[in-house]
């Protein structure tokens, strides 16, 4: 069970697919996201950076790019196995967003 939950946000710009980056404190991993009441994409993938956000790579779980199906106004649990070790990350929408979208990120220890 996750401890010491923290809520932060990232934003996907209008006409964009990649969110702003979020740096998590040491020992924290993203465990869930909450989607806004309007959303264009139906799936999210994630990017991770090991060099403080200078370079990003796609998050994979084994040999498969990690993806979650999304919809409006949802709380979506993330796989701890896939997100373990992620320190700086971005949310990537499978479709270009028609307006700015704020995604809530819940992290825990």
Q: Report the pLDDT averaged over residues 59-63.
A: 95
3-state helix, strand, coil in the chain (%, to 5): 5, 45, 50
Does 1 map to a domain?
no
- pLDDT tens track for 86-99: 999 999 999 999 99
Residue 1 predicted with pLDDT over 70: no
Q: What is the DSSP letter of 59?
A: -
Domain that holds residue 67: 6-108
Give how many domains the chain has, as a whole number. 1
CATH of the domain at 47: 2.60.120.260
| Cα 47 to Cα 12: distance, rounded to the nearest angstrom | 13
Q: Residues 47, 58: contact at Cβ < 8 Å?
A: yes
- In the chain, beta strands by DSSP E: 6-12, 22-23, 29-34, 43-49, 57-58, 60-61, 64-65, 67-69, 75-77, 88-93, 101-108
């Amino acid at each position: 069970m996750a401890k010491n939950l923290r809520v932060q946000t990232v934003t996907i710009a209008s006409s964009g697919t990649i969110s702003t980056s979020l740096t998590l404190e040491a020992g924290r991993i993203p465990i869930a996201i909450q989607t806004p009441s309007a959303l264009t994409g139906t799936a999210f993938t994630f990017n991770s950076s090991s060099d403080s956000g200078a370079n990003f790579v796609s998050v994979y779980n084994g040999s498969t790019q990690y993806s979650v199906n999304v919809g409006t106004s949802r709380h979506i649990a993330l796989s701890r196995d896939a997100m373990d070790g992620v320190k700086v990350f971005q949310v990537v929408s499978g479709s270009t967003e028609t307006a700015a979208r704020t995604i809530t990120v819940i992290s825990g220890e």
